[in-house]
Amino acid sequence: MRVVIIDAGGANTGSVRYAFERLDINAALVTDAASIRAADRVILPGVGTAAQVMARLRQLDLIDVLRTLERPLLGICVGMQLLFEFSEEGDVAGLGLLPGRVARLRGGPGLRVPHMGWSTLRALRPDPLVADVDGAQAYFVHSFAAPVTDDCVLAGDHGQPFAAAVRRGHIAGTQFHPERSAGVGARVLRNFLSPEFEA
C-alpha cells in the first residue's frame, strides 16, 4: 500500500512517519501533486496555525489537488481543521471538504486553553475509522476545534463538546494525534488503512 504524508511544514511529520513504520508501512514525505494522486492513502498532518499550513499548501500548489482528491485522505490536528470551510485561527478559509467553522475553545473554570493531554473519546455513530475506540483516551494539543456535526464520528469535551474525529466518504480527520496516542492511535491508523474504510 502506498501511503504518503504531505510535508505541510509541521514538526510532527517524523512522528507520523514513525507511527506508520510501527505498522510496517513506509510512508513517503511528499510535496508534489503526482505523488499524492498516485497514493492509496494520503495523510495531511498539521502542527502550527491554520493560516501557516494553508499558506504552505498554497505555496506547493496543492489546494485544488486536495479538493479534488478521490483517494482516502486523513487530516491530523490542524490538518483535520483545514478540512472544514473556515477557521477562526487567523480568519482563514479551509479546504471546504466538510461544512462548518473551526472556532477557539472557550475553556472555563479549571480548564486551560490550549487543551493539552489525554482525553476520553466518545463514539457518536459506528464507523470503520473508529472501530473499537469508544471510551478510549487519546492525546490532544489544540486551542481551536471543529463543531460536532453530522460528519463527527467521535466527540471530545473540553468545556464544550468538539469533533475528535470526522468522516465523510473518503475524507476523514482526527483532532487528536494518533502518532502520540499509543495503542488507540495505532488502531485508528490501522482502521484508516483497512479495506473496510473504503467499503
Catalytic residues: 77, 177, 179
- 96 closest CA partner among 82, 110, 106, 116: 82
- 144 closest CA partner among 87, 98, 104: 104
- CA-CA distance, 98 to 81, in Å (whole number)? 9
Contact 4, 66 (CB under 8 A): no
The helices-and-strands tally (H runs, E runs) of the chain is 7, 14
Torsion, CA 55, CA 61, CA 67, CA 71, rounded to 10: -120
Side chain identity, residue 197: F
Side chain identity, residue 122: R
